[in-house]
Amino acid sequence: MAGHSPEPLGIPEREDSADRRKTPAGAGPHALDRWLANKFMEAIGSPPLSLTLWDGERVYSPRDPVAGLCVHDRGALWRLVPHPDLAIGDLYSLGRITVEGDLLTALETVYRSMSELDRHNRMLRTVQRVILSTAPSLSRARANIHHHYDLGNDFYELWLDRDALQYTCAYYPASEMTLEQAQRAKMDHVCRKVWLQPGESVVEAGCGWGGFALHMARHYGVTVRAFNISREQIVYARAWAAREGLSDRVEFVEDDFRNITGRYDAFLSIGMLEHVGRGNYSHLGRVIDRCLKPDGRGLIHSIGRDRPWPLNAWIRKRIFPGAYPPTLREMTQIFEPSGFSVLDAENLRLHYAATLREWLDRYEQRVDTVRGMFDERFVRAWRLYLAGSIAGFTRGSLQLFQVLFARSGVNAIPRSRAHVYEDGEAEVLGESA
């Protein structure tokens, strides 16, 4: 199984000529090393973090540092400057950079200083925008998804919620909720927004291990056809549906969203858009147009941005190949050309930070089991990915959008959103167009 190879993320122990500079024992930093260390701190926006080199020399010490970085060899230092985004992640995973103090605090500090920097760097943004306007092909999409989601179901079972295996943002309407309760609240929040009625048919694009599809069939009296290109997840989902006796009402299809057939009352996609690629948004709109009944409703749930900006280079290379978090403006490319009307958009950014904190806690509690599955590089990389995501959602460099939509002119919609927050039936405001 792919997930149980010793190095599923592809982080190399030694990568380039700079790596050959790995410091022999006792070799202290030169003046050039000190200069480079300061250049690096400048490149990441001069955050209030100290920087210590391999001999214990503190070469960067701002007033009131909130945490510290330690670079343990010369090769690591020389790899940091040209591509800090990518190198920090790899070197942290390799243990060649470590953090003094709290990892999360250090990451939030770097996120803040780098986002200040971004504001002043419009040219870079333009260049990256051009690079990012690509759409993965079907085969590329399959490889990208395999890289992340086929790490092994037992790995994800260690730290996701136990009831529904939701690998997407939970919803915490009350602070004392468990992860299990918050994931259930998320599923119900979506079902209420999209106003599912008993007997309706739902298509789900990107269904993970099937927990949400099964929840809908179990609690909302609907039939579901759920699409996913991850072979491992589909196999898992089918077995789960069989165990629950729901195979007659939930069908799991191993295929790309572009191949969805049939007509449905509701279209749902929770956490797939990040992997669709910006160039495919209007294609996704046409797929929804094709598969939604005239009065149907749809909801897309996706990580996003307030301004166009690529995902962190290391996350894109090691964790989520091909992923891109769109802005609301970019998301409208799904709806506008195909004649949909946005009814409701909600930003749940801080709920994702809360979800990730719970995931990271559970991950650390089971880290010895993870060590039995993967090597130490993986263990550290995954910790960095979860902590870095908490920092991103907390600082506001990442958003979480839920967008509800229907065709333009559909009037068979609830009078207000009150039904999402109350028990009881929603009252319809208008007649169908």
Contact positions toward a copy of itself, by CB under 8 A?
Answer: 115, 119, 171-175, 306-307, 327-329, 332, 335-337, 339-347, 349-351, 353-354, 394-397, 399, 408-411, 413, 415-418, 420-422, 427, 429-430, 433
**HEC letters along 27-81:** CCCCHHHHHHHHHHHHHCCCCCEEEECCCCCEEECCCCCCEEEEECCHHHHHHHC
CB of 223 to a copy of itself, least distance (A): 28
Separation of alpha carbons 342 and 363, rounded Å: 37
CA angle 309, 315, 318 (to 5 degrees): 140
Q: Name the residue nearer to a copy of itself (CB basis): 236 or 401.
A: 401
CB of 59 to a copy of itself, least distance (A): 29
Neighbours of 262 (CB within 10 A): 10
Specify whether the CB–CB gap between 199 and 217 falls below 8 A: no
Rounded (to 5) percent helix, strand, coil in the chain: 45, 15, 35
Choose among 386, 412, 144: nearest CA to 266. 412
CB of 372 to a copy of itself, least distance (A): 36
Separation of alpha carbons 260 and 253, rounded Å: 9
If DSSP codes are grouped into helix, strand and coil, which group holds residue 248?
coil
CB of 111 to a copy of itself, least distance (A): 9
Separation of alpha carbons 75 and 80, rounded Å: 9
Separation of alpha carbons 72 and 58, rounded Å: 12
Q: Name the residue nearer to a copy of itself (CB basis): 192 or 275.
A: 192
CB of 366 to a copy of itself, least distance (A): 27
CB of 35 to a copy of itself, least distance (A): 33
CA angle 96, 97, 100 (to 5 degrees): 135
Q: Name the residue nearer to a copy of itself (CB basis): 237 or 410.
A: 410
CB of 167 to a copy of itself, least distance (A): 22
Q: Where are the beta strands (DSSP E) in 307-416?
A: 340-347, 399-407
Q: Name the residue nearer to a copy of itself (CB basis): 192 or 317.
A: 192
Q: Name the residue nearer to a copy of itself (CB basis): 162 or 307.
A: 307
